[in-house]
Structure 1
Amino acid sequence: MRGTRTRLIGALLAVLALTATAACTTPATGTGGSGGEGGPPPSTANRVEPLENPPAPALPATATSSDGRKVTVRRADRVVPLSGSLSEIVFSLGLGDRVVARDISTTFAQAADLPLVTRAHDVSAESVLSLCPDLVLAEETTGPAEAMQQIREAGVPVVVVAPAHGLDDVGPRIRSVAAALGVPSAGERLTERSERRITAVREQVPAEDPKPRVAFLYLRGSASVYLIGGRDSGATSLIEAAGAVDAGAESGLAKDFTALTSEALVKAAPDAILVMSKGLESVGGVDGLAEIPGIAQTPAGMDRRVVSIEDGVLLNYGPRTDQVLKSFVDQLHAPGGGA
């Protein structure tokens, strides 16, 4: 029975792929469109800075996808990056006018009017294919797998970019995207600019002795999700660059995230807490955070030392990481510390 159901699903996906591809008779514009499901992202000072005088893509180009595939990209007039981080890189390379869609984590202002092609965090293959893309850029976590396979079976090149774990991944990710788009020289320029700006921020980090201990918490109050980051959370590199110690990792948490308990907080003993802004909002701000069991008993809770960074950029490790790091440093080391 399971095999029959799998074959039926596969046949349905193939039909949908053909239908979506056949509908590509009138190209959609890359600058218009409604905000799609969930509405447009906030349009504030949250903007990316494109390179000046970007080169035109030299195509065809063969890119090495992180899933081991060799992908030939013949056109890059209609690009769909399926994460906020990848979108940020494409726009920063100066090729934002070629982007025809966004995913839910793409929150910067220049992408506000692009159609949304994800439902929650799941990719809608039909929505992607309806935009007739020449190239899809994806993360290793992009899914569901069936949707990604449907896009490939429709003949669209899909390049998967290796994930970001820390500051050392800024350059490699930029270069990977630039290579897929046929603009390697622009990738080198953007890498140099990004790394230079990160270095400039790091040189201005105040020295505290001892270094403050920072716990990275992932919070979604509406879903009762309360997690503390460990060594593989992706935040350790940023915390250390800000002149601090990752309290979760240092206390022995080896996984990416662990359920937040009073015992874990006591062991981590954070002097400050790092959170995503929407996560902090979901628990009722700093006052609500302090009501989570164990928080008020930590040095961070007693001092109300909280660092809040916008969700769409905190762990991107891309062209705006210098801004993330500067905001982190300013909040962490400000008189009184944090929010």
Structure 2
Amino acid sequence: MVAVLAAGCSAPGPTGAGGAGDGAVTATIGDLDPEPIGPPPTPRLPVTVGSQDGAEVTVTSADRIVAVDQYGTLGETVFALGLGGNLVGRDTATDFPAAAGIPNVTPGGHSLNAEAILALRPSVVLTDSSIGPHAVQEQIRAAGVPVVYFDGERTLDTTTDMIREVGRTLGVPAAGDALAERTQQQIDQALASVPQQQDPPTIAFLYQRGAAISMLGGPGSGADDIIKAVGGMDAGTASGLTAAFTPVTAEALIVAAPDVILMMSGGLESVGGVDGLVQMAGVKQTPAGENRRVIDMDDSVLLSYGPSTGRVIGALSEALYGEQAR
């Protein structure tokens, strides 16, 4: 069975695999703002850390932090460590209410602007390979700003490691350890609540930005791991995709035959909601399209693999299985 979860739906009731019901639903975690692990900690700096790009970087101040990656993971983690008041620049995906007043230095979603970042006078830039161009990060480093790269892979296995690394980089290792422990406990609790299925649903993740950008998630997309976490099978991977994201064709969707579609909320809204989605080529010919079985979730949390990951798994599980997951 294929389940496709689509972010951004506004729908009546939970969709369920295995007979839990048809229709579209928005999976929500309640308050989108990350919950700080405690009062704002006092960074103990300087520290020298190994950056993912191989450089040794010395951080002398965490007073003015810029955190930028494609998923919003780093910005969310800074807030959850209790250092949200020190964040002066963010990415598009760091879009929860508490970050609304912080300048967005990636207005296009994926591209950095060196001048905009340097104008914020950052004391440290946290980033990874998911965003660029790389030359911009190097330009910022050449200007004398410490730039620390983190692992760009987003999986359940890397979530708590990254939290700890961010804590160490900002001189608050105790807060990082505590936040990692809380996050792992929440993940474990959420995984334990996922109903066991004799026939695991196949779930397709569709990344959509209007009619022009339509990508089906595959191995390494980040969506594949969250789909596995809720007891599903990733439709893109099962249908033979080898890349993290592949341009969608009607034929590919029909072959994948998803029962449910998973998307980010902004992506679903960009095609006119569920009504617009089911009119797209290939979608209407899938079980998901026929039954309007779509699950969406806020762009800022769905693939962040940060401190909210446990709540994300729990919300998606309830959206997918309904009362079975309660």
Per the shorter chain, which TM-score range? 0.7 to 0.9
Deviation at 1:108? 1.1
1:210 pairs with 2:199: yes
Give the structure, 1 or 2, with the largest relative contact order (CA under 8 Å, sep 6 or more).
2
Mapping 1:114-263, distance limit 5 Å: 114-120=102-108, 121-222=110-211, 224-263=212-251
- Flag structure 2 segments of 5+ consecutive residues without an equivalent: 1-29
Counterpart of 1:305 in structure 2 is 293
Q: Aligned partners of 1:236, 1:317: CA distance in 2, in Å?
A: 12
The 1:282–1:93 alpha-carbon spacing in structure 2 relative to 1, beyond 3 Å, is: same
Q: Aligned partners of 2:156, 2:168: CA distance in 1, in Å?
A: 20
2:67 aligned residue (48, 61, 81): 81
Contact conserved, 2:34 with 2:76, CA < 8 A, in 1? yes
1:291 pairs with 2:254: no
Deviations 1:292-337 (A, max 9, x none): 12212212122211110111211110001122212211211127xx
SS at match of 1:314: coil
SS at match of 1:71: strand
Q: Aligned partners of 1:323, 1:61: CA distance in 2, in Å?
A: 32
Deviations 1:209-250 (A, max 9, x none): 21111111111225x122211112121110011111111111
Q: Which protein shows a greater Rg?
A: 1
Q: Aligned partners of 1:318, 1:146: CA distance in 2, in Å?
A: 26
Q: Aligned partners of 1:256, 1:129: CA distance in 2, in Å?
A: 32
1:64 pairs with 2:53: no
What is the identity percentage for the equivalent residue pairs of Structure 1 and Structure 2?
47
Deviations 1:165-201 (A, max 9, x none): 3111111111111111011121111111011101111
| Number of corresponding residues | 293
Deviation at 1:75? 1.3
Further displaced range: 60-69 or 287-296: 287-296
The 1:122–1:261 alpha-carbon spacing in structure 2 relative to 1, beyond 3 Å, is: closer
The 1:75–1:66 alpha-carbon spacing in structure 2 relative to 1, beyond 3 Å, is: same
- Flag structure 1 segments of 5+ consecutive residues without an equivalent: 1-43
Deviation at 1:255? 0.9
Contact conserved, 1:305 with 1:332, CA < 8 A, in 2? no
Runs of 4+ more than 4 Å apart? none
TM-score by length of 2: 0.85
Counterpart of 1:24 in structure 2 is none
1:281 pairs with 2:269: yes
Letter in 2 for 1:162: D
Counterpart of 1:51 in structure 2 is 37
Counterpart of 1:99 in structure 2 is 87
Contact conserved, 2:193 with 2:314, CA < 8 A, in 1? no
Further displaced range: 226-235 or 119-128: 119-128
1:111 pairs with 2:99: yes
Deviation at 1:126? 1.7
Counterpart of 1:9 in structure 2 is none
**What's the RMSD between the two structures over aligned residues?**
1.9
Q: Aligned partners of 2:66, 2:301: CA distance in 1, in Å?
A: 19
Q: Aligned partners of 2:249, 2:91: CA distance in 1, in Å?
A: 33
Contact conserved, 1:80 with 1:133, CA < 8 A, in 2? yes
Contact conserved, 1:54 with 1:186, CA < 8 A, in 2? no
Q: Aligned partners of 1:279, 1:79: CA distance in 2, in Å?
A: 29
The 1:131–1:227 alpha-carbon spacing in structure 2 relative to 1, beyond 3 Å, is: closer
Deviation at 1:54? 4.9
